Chains A and B, each alone.
Chain A
Amino acid sequence: MSCRKIQFLIQGYLDGEATSAERAAVEQHVERCGACAAELASSRQLLGLLGQDPQRSVSADFEQNLRAALRETRPAPGVAAWWERLRLQLEWRLRVPALVTAGSLAVALVAGVATLRVQDLRETQRERQEYVSTAVERYEQLQQAETKVNWDAMDASIDLNSGSVLTE
């Protein structure tokens, strides 16, 4: 693993956020890499320094001053609660029309799809009927034409007086 990668892992290592595999990788790496070992040491030292910064305390009259300030802001929770109630009401009032609109759109969509589907089926059925009718009509025409042609041909090839077949 590269030194750059290890230096990123050192942060999680010191913060207790590294996985066991990452911890092992850092520990193995710093055993043979002086630069990363120094990096680990300086990071540890920095955290020690930051941890030594003393906590500050508020002054003795802090709470007294806060009480005085809160007295002046007493209406605020009522106002906040009033706004909160208004917000909730508005949210609900906006939510109901939104739900109705969404429901209407869904119904319209389903109805539209169903209508198109029915129209499509009707169209297909009508085309099929037209096709069959046309085919039957065509067949009958062919039958008639064929019959007619045969008879005409036969008439032309037969000597009507003798009944013998004429040859060309």
Chain B
Amino acid sequence: MTSIQSVIAGQQVIDSERTFEGLVQEYKNRIHSYVCRMTRDSADAEDITQEVFIRAYQSMSAFRYDAAVDTWLYRIATNLVIDRFRRGQRAPKTVPTETEESFLELPTTSREDDPHATLQLGELQTQVQKAIHSLPAKLRAVVILHDMEGLSYEQVAETVGCPVGTVKSRLFNARLLLKRKLQYYMESEG
């Protein structure tokens, strides 16, 4: 089977140690998870993931070596997800056009909303993903990158292109909303 690297003329190399093929191997699942979380496992999540690596390959010559590779890939993925849904290629419910203020109007979960909810992990995970997806895109990206992908405040700031203080603020608001939305399940679990 032809390796990715042999397909690429000129042996594209990220740095002396890491080849493009190694980059794909190392980050494909992380980036795919991020895209899935941002799009709530949309059908074209893998297409978007593939597009991330194509864009990365195309822009490797412009890659700034003072930036971390993972931050660079997450940034490409974030822009692609936002672009994809801004163009309306997917269901409107995933369009990240909400303002940060609008999240205050989101309803919280209650026993009346889901009287047959179970405490099984699968159901809980579904509710967590649903709650995350109900967040405005700006808050969703920050909470996913920090709390699920494990990036630091600084890395998140670099990825989404805003100051660290804004990241903290968005994270605070995102968690506040998630706690409100998952209150019933958290109390049940607790």
Contact = CB atoms under 8 A, between A and B. Distances in A.
A154 interface: no
B147 interface: yes
A65 to B, nearest CB: 6
B182 A65 contact: no
B24 A66 contact: yes
Interface in B117-176: 121, 124-125, 128-129, 132, 143, 146-148, 153, 168, 171-172, 175
B70 interface: no
B175 A43 contact: yes
Nearest to A42: B179
Interface string B32-56: 1100110001000110011001100
Contacts of B28: 58, 62-63
A51 B10 contact: no
Contacts of B132: 50
Given A11-B171, A63-B24, A58 B46 contact: yes
Contacts of A106: none
Interface string A32-55: 000000000111011101111111
B80 interface: no
B36 A56 contact: yes
A140 interface: no
Interface stretch (B59-67, B81-89, B95-103, B107-115): B59-67
B49 A50 contact: no
Nearest to B127: A49
Contacts of A53: 37, 125, 128-129, 148
B54 A73 contact: yes
A66 B53 contact: yes
Interface of B: 1-2, 4, 7-10, 12, 24, 28-30, 32-33, 36-37, 41, 45-46, 49-50, 53-54, 57-62, 121, 124-125, 128-129, 132, 143, 146-148, 153, 168, 171-172, 175, 178-179, 182, 186, 189-190
* Ranked 9 nearest A-B pairs via Cβ: A76-B58, A50-B147, A56-B33, A56-B36, A55-B33, A58-B32, A80-B61, A84-B61, A81-B61
Interface of A: 8, 11-12, 15, 17, 41-43, 45-47, 49-59, 62-67, 69-71, 73-74, 76-78, 80-81, 84
